[in-house]
A and B are shown apart, each in its own frame.
Chain A
C-alpha cells in the first residue's frame, strides 16, 4: 500500500478540538430533548443483605414523580446484564438490572425513580424505604475461595467462578534444573478508571415508529445495540445507539450496564424521553473497577541469569457479578507472562472469585499491566538475588531481532521488535552509567535515590476474531461524494483518541485530497455500518487498517473509471496526489472528477456500478506487540516518605506513527495512570464491604503538580499484521510505567533492606518501612 506522506507521520492539530475548547461539543448530558424526564437510582447501602420489602408509596406521591420501579417491575421484562466471556465451566450468575431478593455489593441498583427534574428525582429516592437483613460479607478474594466463606451466589455452592490454567513447557523440569528459584507474593490493587465524564444515558422511544434512540457514553455503540436489543426484546434494527462526545473511557465504558437497559425500558414504557446521568459517587461504586489480582510468582533461573521457567498462582477478585468481560481479564495476564523475555516454560493457575464488591473488568491495559508489573518486579528481584545489574539481566534474556516472529510459552507469536534498541536508547537518554554513580554518591550522603527500569511488551490491536468474544475485526466505509468531499464511516468509537484527525490523515494521503475535505463519522449505529469499537489499542491498528483497505478499494474503482474517461487502460495509469496520470495524450483526471462521473454515469464502461463508495471489514491475522523501555528516577524523602520523580524517560515502539502529536498524548496519559497506580491510587473497601474511597476526595486521581515532565523518544519496528504498520499505543504508557516507578522507589529503599513493597507506594507506607 502506498501513501503520499503529506499528513501521515505529521503532527497534525486535531480537528476535534475547536468545538471542544469552546465547550460546544455534545456529551450525553448536553443533548437536550424537550420534555425529557430524569431518572435517579436508589442503590444498596449494604454489601450483602436480603431485601425483605421495599416501600415506594411515599416516593410515588412526591412532587414531580412520574414512576417508581423496583426489581419486581422489571423481572422477566428486562434481560440480565450480559457477560460475553466464555471460559470452561464458568459460573455466570443472573445479574438483574434492579436487585431482586438480595443485594451483593454496595451501590447495586435497587429502585429507579422517574421525575420531572433531577432534583425531584433525587428527593424521591430518599423517600423509598427498604427493609434489609444484613448478611455476612466477604471482601477478601483469597478467603472467599475457602470452603467456610459466606456464599455470595448460594446456587453455585462456592465463590469460585472458575479456575483457569494456561502456559506450556516443562515447568517442573525447569524448576528442578534451576540454580535459584526466586519467589514473591504480589498484590495488584483494585483501581477505578475515573473517566472525567461519568456514564450517562438518554433514551427516547417513538411508539409510532417503534424505534428507540439511545444516547450513551460508551466505547462500543454497536455491541451495546446488540446486547440491549436482546435485553429489551426490541428488534436490533429498531434500536439506534449513539455515542456522542464521550468524555474518556479507559475500558470503563467497554461494557453493558444495568442503567443503559433500564433507561431504554423506562422510555419504552412511559413513551417519554428519559435521562440518567451518573454522579461521581455512583461512578466509583457502580462503574467497573480494574486490576485486583493477588498471587505468588516463582521464577526458575540459572546463576548466569538465564530464565528457565515461571509459575504464577493467582486469585482474581471478580467482584459480585460478571460485567461484560469480567472473567476474561485475568486470562490476558496469563498470555503476557513471558514479558519481553525468552522463558521456555510458563504455567499460570488463576482462580476467579466472587466478592461483595463492584465487578472488575477492563481498565486501561486490562490484564497486561498485571503481567508486566509482576514480570518486571521479578526481574529486579532476580537481579538482586544474583547480584547482577537489572539491565544486564533483562538484556540477556531478550529475544534477538532476528528471532521474530517470536513464539512464547504462553502461545503467542510476537510480531516484530527490537527490544535492545529501545533499551539502549532509553539508557542513553538517562545516561544510566552516570545515574548509578550519582546514586552511589547520593547514598553516601544518606539520600534515597532510586532508578527503576521496565522493559515491556504488550498485546494490542485486539485482535483476531477467534480470540475475542465479539469478534475482533473492524469496519470502514469510504465515500467520495459527487462534489469530491470524502465521508468516512468507522466502526471505531473514539472517546479522546483523536481518530477524526488521524483517520482523516490516512484517507487524505491515500486519496491525495485536502484533510479539510475528509469528514470522519463514528458512534451512530444508524449511520455507520456495524463495528466493534475502541478498546485494546485497536483504533489505528485495526480500524485504521480497515480504513486503508476501504480507501484502496475506492482508488481501484476510480482507476477503472479514470481509464475509461482517459481512453486508456488501467495498467498505464498511476495515481499521484489525487490525480490519475499516464494517459498517452498526457491528459489526466482528478479523483473529484472521477467521483462526479461515477454518480452522473453518462460516460462509464459497460456494467459499471454507479457511485464511488467502498466498505471493508478488516480481519487482523495476529495481535501486535508494541514494546519499549521506561526509566524512572526518584528520590524518597527520608523524613516524610514522599516520592519525588526526578526524571521519567519513555522510549516506546508502537510501529508506524500516523500522528506523533497524538501518540505523545497517549503515552503521557498512559504513564500518568500507571504512575498513579504505583504511587497513589487504590479502591478501598472495609471488611463490611463499605467503599471507603467513594468520591474524588478519597480516591487519589493525580493532580498536575504530582506528576513529572515526561521525556519521550521512540523506536520503530513496523508490523506486518496490518497494512499501516501501526501497532497501537493507547495502553503502552499504563503498562510500561507502573513497574518502572515501583522498581525505582524500591531501589531507593534498598539501604533499608527493602526488597518489595506492594502498591500503592504512598508516603505513609514508605515512612513506616523506614521507621520499622
Chain B
C-alpha cells in the first residue's frame, strides 16, 4: 500500500506491506533510529512518538494507520540546536542512565505536559506508567518532567 506520513515535518512516501509496524517505518524507512523498540507489546513505551500531537506507542500501530498523519519523533523535538525543555530537564536532573527508554519517556512526557501543563508528582508518575525505565528508579525522571513543566510555564507566561 502506498502511504504518505509526515515525520518531523518531512514527508515520507512509501509502498509498504499492510503489516509493517509504524516503528519500523520510522526506523527503517525514514532512518530515524531514536525511536527504540523494547518489548513489541506496548508495555515499555520505548517506541513512543507523537502522532498528530498525541503520544502513541509506535510498536502497536501499523504504518498504514498513520497514513496522512503528522508524526513527531525524538529527533524532531530540538529546534535550531536548542533542546526542548523536556530534553533539557532530563539532562539537568540526571533523568537518564543508559538512555534506551529516554526518547520514549521524553515523548510521553511531552504528551503529558500538553494535556496537563502543571502536573503534580503523582500525576507525573501516573502519566508515565506506560513507560518503563530500568535504570533510574524514576525519581530523577519525575524531577526532569517537573523541571520542564516549570520552564514551559515560565515561557508561556512570558509569551503572554
Contact = CB atoms under 8 A, between A and B. Distances in A.
A661 B96 CA distance: 11
Interface string B121-152: 11011101101111111111110000000000
A21 B87 contact: yes
B58 interface: no
B37 interface: yes
A662 interface: yes
A234 B64 CA distance: 45
Q: Which of B44, B122, B136 has the most CB of A within 10 A?
A: B136
B90 A668 contact: no
Contacts of B103: 21, 23
A665 B43 CA distance: 23
Interface residues of A, number: 57
A692 interface: no
A247 B100 contact: yes
Q: Which of B75, B90, B125, B137 has the most CB of A within 10 A?
A: B137
Contacts of A196: 36, 38, 44, 46, 98, 100-101, 132-135
A674 to B, nearest CB: 10
Interface in A402-439: none
Main secondary structure of the interface of B (DSSP, over half): loop
Q: Which of B24, B32, B96, B98 has the most CB of A within 10 A?
A: B98
Interface string B68-97: 000001110110000100010011101011
Contacts of B38: 196-198, 280
Contact of B141 (A13, A29, A246, A704): A704
B83 A22 contact: yes
A83 to B, nearest CB: 26
B78 A707 contact: no
A703 interface: yes
B94 A20 contact: no
A701 B87 contact: no
B117 interface: no
B55 interface: no
A497 interface: yes
Interface in B27-50: 27, 31-41, 43-44, 46
Contact of B98 (A18, A22, A195, A277): A195
Q: Which of A26, A197, A695 has the most CB of B within 10 A?
A: A197
Contacts of A264: none
A17 B98 CA distance: 9
A16 B129 CA distance: 26
Nearest 5 pairs of A and B residues by beta carbon: A23-B34, A247-B100, A496-B98, A672-B137, A20-B99
25 contacts: A13-B91, A14-B91, A17-B96, A22-B75, A22-B78, A23-B35, A26-B33, A27-B100, A32-B33, A118-B24, A119-B17, A196-B46, A198-B38, A245-B98, A246-B98, A247-B101, A281-B40, A496-B135, A661-B94, A665-B94, A668-B139, A669-B135, A670-B137, A695-B43, A705-B126
Interface of B: 17, 19-20, 24, 27, 31-41, 43-44, 46, 73-75, 77-78, 83, 87, 90-92, 94, 96-103, 106, 121-122, 124-126, 128-129, 131-142
Given A23-B102, A496-B135, 19 more contacts: A17-B90, A21-B74, A21-B91, A21-B103, A22-B34, A22-B83, A24-B34, A119-B17, A197-B98, A198-B38, A245-B98, A248-B100, A281-B40, A665-B97, A672-B136, A672-B138, A695-B41, A696-B132, A703-B125
